[in-house]
């Protein structure tokens, strides 16, 4: 029985993933309705923020009456009125006899209350099916609801010896086309992509999503002294929100040189640099639930040092630069011994056409 539940839960997770980039700040949720012989009757997913939740879509999509059937979903059904009615009410009204779920909802408005309501209605509830996989799918939502902070991932592309550029800093292609496609999937997944004024000046990136059917993330530029050129690619008016995070000391006159669609956020300083903790809180208050950091070694180091980064995704090309003066993907710790390293937990590796993706979680 458990094996069959796990098989169906994987279908839920697969359905949910199709909505990456479309449901934030809501979670990714997929749902399947099936009969006693484990034949799938209907499927549903939360397709877009503000629209029907997965359970409602699965019930409404069913070609037959779902009374007496079972429902499996990766996240506890909601029991409160939001932009849509409570899913628990519809599940009860429809006559579903059994609900299987992967994890409880971390949202304090739900957090076990949905399960309690279903049980009180006489519905059998089974929990914890593929719980780790369900947690991983909604890691962003979980952090948002439990810590009121955005989920932050550092993305780097380097040689085997950790170099992102030669000693001159001149931008050069490191990884291949397969890696390029994966990066644009990440930009579609995260709410925002963040970089530094140094990267804007040296590389003039666009920071857009060029995958088919993808959407551009919000662009965030950390520019303490407002030195980035106003005609930089990141400031193109393509309908995407753009933020510049700068020092609280910059003059209003200096701010006027940027296009009207660019919003400038003044932030306090810490040791002559933008206070990252304050900046991250301000961005979260503006609805930024997840951030992909695409920058140089100094900014990467700052996010790690302030213990703000949750994850590291490193694209590694099978190349060796072997130059001590070349630029590293993390710069400035100057550890004297290996024992003093920042330790991470390896989560996964993926071999692409020529490169390797290494995913690690920061240990906090």
| Helices of type H across 19-112 | 54-61, 87-94
- Picking from 202, 211, 186, the residue whose alpha carbon sits closest to that of residue 234 is 202
Whether 55 is catalytic: yes
Catalytic residue, chosen from 55, 76, 294, 311, is: 55
| Helices of type H across 18-155 | 54-61, 87-94, 113-120, 131-137, 139-147
Q: Which long-range contacts (CB under 8 A, 24 or more apart) does 226-229 make?
A: 226/250, 226/254, 226/255, 226/257, 226/258, 226/264, 227/197, 227/201, 228/197, 228/200, 228/201, 229/200, 229/201
Give the count of beta carbons closer than 10 Å to the beta carbon of residue 157: 20
What residues are labeled active site?
A: 55
């Amino acid at each position: 029985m458990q094996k069959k539940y796990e098989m169906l839960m994987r279908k839920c997770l697969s359905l949910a993933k199709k909505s990456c980039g479309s449901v934030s700040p809501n979670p990714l949720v997929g749902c399947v309705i099936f009969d006693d012989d484990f034949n799938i009757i209907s499927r549903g997913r939360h397709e877009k923020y503000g629209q029907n939740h997965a359970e409602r879509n699965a019930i409404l999509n069913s070609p037959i009456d779902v009374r007496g059937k079972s429902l499996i979903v990766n996240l506890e059904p909601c029991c409160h009125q939001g932009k849509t009615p409570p899913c628990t009410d519809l599940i009860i009204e429809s006559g579903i006899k059994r609900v299987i779920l992967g994890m409880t909802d971390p949202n304090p408005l739900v957090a076990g209350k949905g399960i309690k309501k279903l049980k009180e209605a006489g519905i059998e509830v089974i929990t914890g099916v593929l719980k780790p996989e369900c947690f991983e799918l909604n890691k962003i939502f979980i952090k948002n609801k439990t810590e009121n902070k955005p989920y932050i991932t550092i993305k780097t592309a380097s040689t085997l010896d950790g170099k992102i550029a030669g000693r001159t800093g001149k931008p050069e292609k490191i990884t291949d086309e397969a890696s390029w496609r994966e990066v644009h999937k990440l930009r579609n997944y995260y709410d925002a992509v963040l970089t530094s004024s140094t990267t804007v000046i040296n590389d003039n990136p666009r920071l857009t999503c060029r995958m088919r059917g993808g959407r551009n993330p919000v662009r965030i530029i950390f520019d303490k002294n407002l030195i980035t050129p106003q005609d930089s690619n990141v400031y193109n008016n393509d309908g995407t929100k753009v933020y510049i995070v700068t020092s609280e000391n910059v003059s209003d006159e200096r701010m006027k040189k940027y296009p009207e669609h660019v919003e400038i956020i003044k932030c306090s300083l810490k040791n002559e640099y933008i206070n990252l903790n304050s900046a991250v809180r301000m961005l979260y208050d503006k609805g930024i639930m997840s951030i992909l950091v695409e920058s140089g070694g100094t900014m990467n180091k700052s996010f790690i040092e302030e213990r703000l980064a949750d994850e590291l995704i490193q694209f590694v090309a099978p190349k060796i630069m072997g130059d001590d003066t070349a630029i590293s993907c993390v710069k400035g710790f100057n550890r004297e011994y290996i024992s003093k390293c920042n330790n991470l937990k390896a989560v996964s590796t993926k071999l692409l056409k020529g490169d390797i993706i290494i995913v690690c979680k920061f240990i906090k």
